[in-house]
Structure 1
Amino acid sequence: MTPAPLVLLDLDGTLTDSYPGIAASARVAFTALGMPVPDDAALRRFVGPPLADSFPAFGVPGERVPEAVAAYRGYFREAGMWENSVYAGIPEQLVELRAAGVRLAVATSKPEVFAGPICERFGLAAHLEGVFGAPLDHVPSSKATVVAAALDALRPGGAVLMVGDREHDVHGARAHGVDCLGVAWGYAQPGELAAAGAVDVVADVGGLAAAVLAVLGRASGDDGAVSGSPRPAGAPTTGT
């Protein structure tokens, strides 16, 4: 039997609309530093990259980045992580993929200590074999290191695909020879995913499972059919 394929799913902007809590946490941080608060459109750029990269991109001096991160995390732990929602239709797409024999796990740049509880609270964990995220901010990390941790823990024997909404997902996956399928409902700038090298970009949530199966089918040469046994729903997660 052909080994089941593994799909690594980004969290923010792919499975959940986390912008409200991220933006609120960033506003708290800029206010605490006495710096101008970016507008809503600019704050959307906070979704995806590590905070240690985002704050300098908005003019926070390097020596004040730890202060900004601490203020951000203070609000995020208290309230911001729950100012979040699963995109309509995502659970059904995950069920469809599992029924097709696809293994699923989350691989996110969000710290794992937050990603795991978010997946539990919003009912995503039951569909997943694992939730893999970054360490807290004093430990260097990138999307590539998160993908590496997921691959090391899950040891896939079949095809592997990343699904995400930002260029960081594409680059992090490509560092391990893994293709990335982009999603258009997240936080990417126009053309960002294609320019980064995503194999395709899915226009809406309702097309996610079909697009994933099509890419996996091309990789295996079987026109979208996926073989292998799905993991039972509700199986315990790994890495949280």
Structure 2
Amino acid sequence: MSILLLDVDGTLIDSLPGIQRGFRHTLDLLGWPHPDQEFTDRIAGPPMETTLRSLGMSEELAQEGLQIYLEYTRRGGWADAATFPGTLELVRRWKSAGLTLATATSKGESFARQILEREGFLEHIDFLGAAQEDGPRRRKSAVIEHVLATNGWRVDTSDILMIGDRSHDIEGAAEHGIDTVAVAWGYGTPAEWATAAHTAHTPEDLEGIVHDWLA
């Protein structure tokens, strides 16, 4: 069995516009100053409470902010996103080729399901692995553990490949002995990609890397 673990935000879906609007809305309600644009351009990927804590918020305030952000997302913020060109076609080809596909996203489970269904990905995904919106499964490593344990995929880790765009994808997969392909069309930096086993600059690059990995 060859298994691909797919990040969502920054890998399959360009969700940054909606995440940024929800982030700014959260800061406004908390009365917290906005960071600079460079910071805001890097917020997609990690759990929102992690981002809020990195601004200097206490754990209590970050959790309050998380609830504000989740409510914004439930009211429609999840829909402010679009598919990266070429990624849906790539997922279709992988599924047709017999690969097992699962998401491993820090996005909340209901939000991930809604956007992946709307954009046409969900029918090609064997298992939707996502974070809990209100629960302990928030970090990428915990999401991957959930995916592996739920499906009984205690296989040789050489049979599993993570595809993501940020350092937390790479680090979370590494905790399970899984290599990562970093995609350069997402929200990471060259320094983050350098820690991955491979870097794909286009969907065609990614298809070639996966092809070679399967060989």
Same fold (TM over 0.5): yes
Letter paired with 2:163: V
Q: Please give the root-mean-square deviation of Cα atoms over the aligned residues, in Å.
A: 1.6
Residues 137 and 143, structure 2, Cα contact 8 Å, conserved in 1: no
Q: Does 1:130 align with 2:124?
A: no
The structure showing larger relative contact order (alpha-carbon pairs under 8 Å, at least 6 residues apart) is 1
- In structure 2, the gaps of 5 or more residues are none
Residues 6 and 103, structure 1, Cα contact 8 Å, conserved in 2: yes
* Residues in 2 aligned to 1:203 and 1:188: alpha-carbon distance in whole angstroms: 12
Give matches, 1:44-193, under 5 Å. Answer: 44-139=41-136, 141-156=138-153, 157=155, 159-193=159-193
Residues 49 and 65, structure 2, Cα contact 8 Å, conserved in 1: no
Q: Does 1:22 align with 2:16?
A: no
* Residues in 1 aligned to 2:26 and 2:140: alpha-carbon distance in whole angstroms: 23
Residues 104 and 147, structure 2, Cα contact 8 Å, conserved in 1: yes
- Listed one character per residue, the Cα deviations across residues 186-236 of structure 1 (whole Å, up to 9, x for unaligned) are 111232121xx311100112322221121x23xxxxxx2xxxxxxxxxxxx
Report deviation, 1:23. 0.2
1:202 paired residue number: 200
TM-score normalised per structure 2: 0.92
Aligned to 1:162, the other structure's residue is in SS state: strand
- Higher-Rg structure is 1
TM-score normalised per structure 1: 0.83
* Residues in 1 aligned to 2:108 and 2:89: alpha-carbon distance in whole angstroms: 26
* Residues in 2 aligned to 1:77 and 1:30: alpha-carbon distance in whole angstroms: 17
Letter paired with 2:208: A
CA 154–62 in structure 1, closer or farther in 2 if over 3 Å, else same: closer
Report deviation, 1:73. 1.4
Report deviation, 1:137. 4.2
Residues 48 and 166, structure 1, Cα contact 8 Å, conserved in 2: yes
- Listed one character per residue, the Cα deviations across residues 42-101 of structure 1 (whole Å, up to 9, x for unaligned) are 112221111121101122233311221122112111121000001011111112212322
- Listed one character per residue, the Cα deviations across residues 12-35 of structure 1 (whole Å, up to 9, x for unaligned) are 000000001100000100100112
Aligned residues: 212
Aligned to 1:8, the other structure's residue is in SS state: strand
Bigger shift: 6-15 or 72-81?
72-81
**Segments ≥4 residues shifted beyond 6 Å:** none
Aligned to 2:90, the other structure's residue is in SS state: helix
